[in-house]
Amino acid sequence: MFSSRFPLFQLSPVLIFAAAAASSSSNASTVIQWGTCVNDFESTLPADCGTLLLLRIPATVQPAKGSIVLNFGGPGEAGRSTVAETAIILQGLSGGQYNLISFDPRGTPNSNLPFSCFDTDFARQAQAQGQSLPDIDNEEALAKLWARATIDATACAKKQKTTGELIGTAFTARDVLSIAENLGEDGMVRYWGYSYGTTLGATLVSMFPEKIDKVILDGVQNPHEYYHSYGDIEEWAQSDQVFSGIFTSCLQEPDACPLAYYNPTAAELENKVWTLFDTLKTHPVPVGDLIVDENVLHGIVSNSLYSTSSWKNTTRALDMLLTGNIDEELILNLASAVVPVDQATLLAATSIYSPLEGIHCSDRAARAGTYENLLPTLRELANTSRIMGRTDMSLSMVCAQWTIDPKERYEGDFQVSPANPVLLIGNAYDGHTPIQSARNVSSGFEGSVVLEVNGYGHSSLGVPSLCSLKTQADYWVNGTLPEPGTVCQPESAPFSEASWLEVISKAYGA
Ligand SMILES: *[C@@H]1O[C@H](CO)[C@@H](O)[C@H](O)[C@H]1NC(C)=O
Ligand SMILES: *[C@@H]1O[C@H](CO)[C@@H](O)[C@H](O)[C@H]1NC(C)=O
Ligand SMILES: *[C@@H]1O[C@H](CO)[C@@H](O)[C@H](O)[C@H]1NC(C)=O
Ligand SMILES: *[C@@H]1O[C@H](CO)[C@@H](O)[C@H](O)[C@H]1NC(C)=O
Ligand SMILES: *[C@@H]1O[C@H](CO)[C@@H](O)[C@H](O)[C@H]1NC(C)=O
């Protein structure tokens, strides 16, 4: 399947200081210059482009109080285009008083240091087509995926060893510090990270605690596991609960949910859908030119764990596949987010495979080496989440066989006392980053607080909430932390369609 592992916005993918290995941390030797953007970043607010491949959304309230640097996860997610596209929401969440800056991290296609292990379109296509989601008892599929992972790890070691040594998270953390120090501001770091961007942020805070002004980590990964385990197991700890949430919420909002008329219990409804997955293995359904098989349905369903705003359409599609009464346009529309529909989207999807593997696998200090050593981890993944565990198997297999070591890796224990306290945010139910990981990081960062948002989705961006907006803006603008134990309620229930833009108009009256 072609969906990347955890893109924050279900968008297509994409540093800055060319391979400046351990760059000097001196203040303001070069100050970044800002001008008009040459590329079209589809920004929703005015945008400036900077020397050093940065993109800046100026504060909507001038004079600005300073700048915040953002990372959107992956690893490998584009920074510049994502901050441009989400500018209105992020300015709303930060209180409008900061410039928002992002960059395409080392290793990503539009950075100064792209990491790409395959030269031809044919080879990239073969890589994409070699992806699969094997059941844990399917030895043949697991063996094939392992062999595919051998090809990836070998190709990267052969073609990209020098670059591969320089794209790890410790370097990107130094890049963030360099940006902060070269803005001509106070030299302190204001950083906002989502998903994998929280691992970058946890690394940044732990490497440079004395440089921290304000940091929000939202949709938090367990960084201990990211660096030291054979697989990202904890990430999927709540995925099955979010999946089940589709069915329990459906019965609570029967007028909005197309599956409610079956009038079953939530568990019966969920079982019906598991049976549908099995049926599609042996009886895939052609829809237009697309074969809707178990993998395609899995892509559609796992994509909908990001935000409940997709649940109405997902349950419509499930009902269609259950009844055979199919609206081609809806199914093809949902599928287009998870399967390439033409050569361009196929190649765009594959362009993030190498950066994702290169960054995560070189960061990963634990390398299983053999299939036999990795097998218990694969079993643990399958056992942690029936719906999502399989999606991590390909990456775990590549990292198990990775041979490039980074020139620098953060080796500490994430126990620090930063100059100013960090705010962590977790949803009550997050299918990609469970709230226990936010609590885990918080326990190591003295003075930090975890804000809980009581909804389903990935990071607080997945759950529109006025309380969450006010809490975040108050932190950025006034440095105020919420009381420990604060829980924010979402603006609306799953299956109704609240949006961040509505929440922002409510907050700012515009
Ligand atoms: C960095 O430069 C700014 C002014 O440009 C100054 O206010 C700040 O104290 C300097 N920071 C360090 C660490 O020298
Ligand atoms: C649901 O599908 C319809 C029809 O394909 C589309 O117009 C609409 O934008 C989708 N809604 C969401 C929230 O994705
Ligand atoms: C994990 O294993 C336990 C114990 O065997 C079992 O009860 C549980 O259903 C399994 N979970 C998944 C998602 O397979
Ligand atoms: C944080 O997570 C790591 C890795 O799973 C674990 O070893 C450690 O005990 C956890 N720390 C806390 C305080 O939960
Ligand atoms: C910052 O604090 C001031 C004074 O208490 C308050 O009026 C304002 O609403 C706060 N700003 C934000 C964005 O919360």
Per-residue pLDDT reduced to its tens digit, 136-193: 999 999 999 999 999 999 999 999 999 999 999 999 999 999 999 999 999 999 999 9
What pLDDT, on the 0 to 100 scale, is given for residue 314? 97
Residue 3 pLDDT > 50, yes or no? no
28 in the same domain as 102: yes
437 in the same domain as 390: no
What pLDDT, on the 0 to 100 scale, is given for residue 51? 64
Kindly state if the Cβ of 28 falls inside 6 Å of ligand 1.
yes
Q: Which residues line ligand 4 (CB under 6 A)?
A: 222, 224-225, 234, 440, 443
Model confidence over 462-493: pLDDT tens digits?
999 999 999 999 999 999 999 999 999 999 99
What pLDDT, on the 0 to 100 scale, is given for residue 25? 40
Residue 225 pLDDT > 90, yes or no? yes
CATH number of the domain that 416 lies in? Answer: 3.40.50.1820
What pLDDT, on the 0 to 100 scale, is given for residue 36? 82
204 in the same domain as 72: yes
309 in the same domain as 389: yes
Kindly state if the Cβ of 95 falls inside 6 Å of ligand 5.
yes
299 in the same domain as 151: yes
From 381, 401, 421, give the residue that closes a domain.
401
Percentage of the chain modeled with pLDDT above 70: 93
The alpha carbon of 411 and the centre of ligand 5 are apart by a number of angstroms equal to 39
Q: How many CB atoms lie within 10 A of CB 282?
A: 8
What pLDDT, on the 0 to 100 scale, is given for residue 43? 87
Which ligand 5 atom sits nearest the alpha carbon of residue 476? Answer: 13
Residue nearest to atom 14 of ligand 4 (CA): 440
Within a domain: 78: yes
What pLDDT, on the 0 to 100 scale, is given for residue 413? 98
Given a contact cutoff of 8 angstroms between Cβ atoms, the answer to whether 338 and 299 are in contact is yes
What pLDDT, on the 0 to 100 scale, is given for residue 41? 81
Residue 132 pLDDT > 50, yes or no? yes
Residue 496 pLDDT > 70, yes or no? yes
- Which of 44-53, 452-461, 470-479 is predicted least confidently? 44-53
What pLDDT, on the 0 to 100 scale, is given for residue 5? 45
Residues 6+ apart with CB under 8 A from 300: 314, 317, 334, 335, 337, 338
Q: Which of 477, 480, 488, 504 to mutate to test the pocket of ligand 5 (most atoms within 8 A of CB)?
A: 477
Rounded mean pLDDT of 113-129? 93
Ligand nearest to the CA of 236: 3
Kindly state if the Cβ of 330 falls inside 6 Å of ligand 2.
yes
176 in the same domain as 94: yes
- Which of 9-13, 271-275, 436-440, 449-453 is predicted least confidently? 9-13
Number of domain units in the chain:
2
Q: Which of 474, 475, 476, 480 to mutate to test the pocket of ligand 5 (most atoms within 8 A of CB)?
A: 474
Model confidence over 231-243: pLDDT tens digits?
999 999 999 999 9
287 in the same domain as 178: no
Residue 198 pLDDT > 50, yes or no? yes
Rounded mean pLDDT of 397-406? 98
- Cα(213)–Cα(205) distance, integer angstroms: 10
Within a domain: 195: yes
Given a contact cutoff of 8 angstroms between Cβ atoms, the answer to whether 167 and 175 are in contact is no
- Cα(459)–Cα(45) distance, integer angstroms: 23
What pLDDT, on the 0 to 100 scale, is given for residue 30? 56
Within a domain: 149: yes
466 in the same domain as 327: no
What pLDDT, on the 0 to 100 scale, is given for residue 237? 98
Kindly state if the Cβ of 187 falls inside 6 Å of ligand 1.
yes
Ligand nearest to the CA of 229: 4
Q: What share of the chain is helix, strand, coil (3-state, %, to 5)?
A: 45, 10, 45
Report which DSSP code applies to 185. Answer: S
97 in the same domain as 78: yes
Within a domain: 420: yes
- Cα(64)–Cα(61) distance, integer angstroms: 6
Q: How far is CA 187 from CA 15, 207, 230, 396, in A?
A: 20, 15, 37, 38
What pLDDT, on the 0 to 100 scale, is given for residue 116? 95
- Domain of 494 in residue numbering reads as 13-111+167-228+410-508
Q: Quote the strand ranges of 257-310, DSSP E.
A: 285-287, 290-292
Rounded mean pLDDT of 294-318? 96
Q: Quote the strand ranges of 335-489, DSSP E.
A: 423-429, 449-456, 487-488
Given a contact cutoff of 8 angstroms between Cβ atoms, the answer to whether 483 and 450 are in contact is no
From 353, 378, 401, give the residue that closes a domain.
401
Which ligand 1 atom sits nearest the alpha carbon of residue 181? Answer: 1
What tokens were used for 422? 């960090």
* CA 421 to chain CA mean position, Å: 24
Model confidence over 253-298: pLDDT tens digits?
999 999 999 888 999 999 999 999 999 999 999 999 999 999 999 9
Within a domain: 6: no
From 355, 381, 401, give the residue that closes a domain.
401
248 in the same domain as 199: no
pLDDT confidence band for 15 (50 / 70 / 90)? very low
Amino acid making up residue 59: A
244 in the same domain as 372: yes
Which runs of consecutive H residues, i.e. helices, occur in 209-265? 223-228, 239-252
Kindly state if the Cβ of 325 falls inside 6 Å of ligand 5.
no
Rounded mean pLDDT of 348-372? 95
Percentage of the chain modeled with pLDDT above 90: 84
pLDDT confidence band for 9 (50 / 70 / 90)? very low
What pLDDT, on the 0 to 100 scale, is given for residue 448? 98
Within a domain: 3: no
| CA-wise closest residue to 47 among 481, 55, 280, 483 | 55
What tokens were used for 278? 């099995």
pLDDT top residue among 55 and 24: 55
What pLDDT, on the 0 to 100 scale, is given for residue 238? 98
279 in the same domain as 172: no
Within a domain: 7: no
Rounded mean pLDDT of 356-373? 98
What pLDDT, on the 0 to 100 scale, is given for residue 340? 87
What pLDDT, on the 0 to 100 scale, is given for residue 510? 64
Within a domain: 308: yes
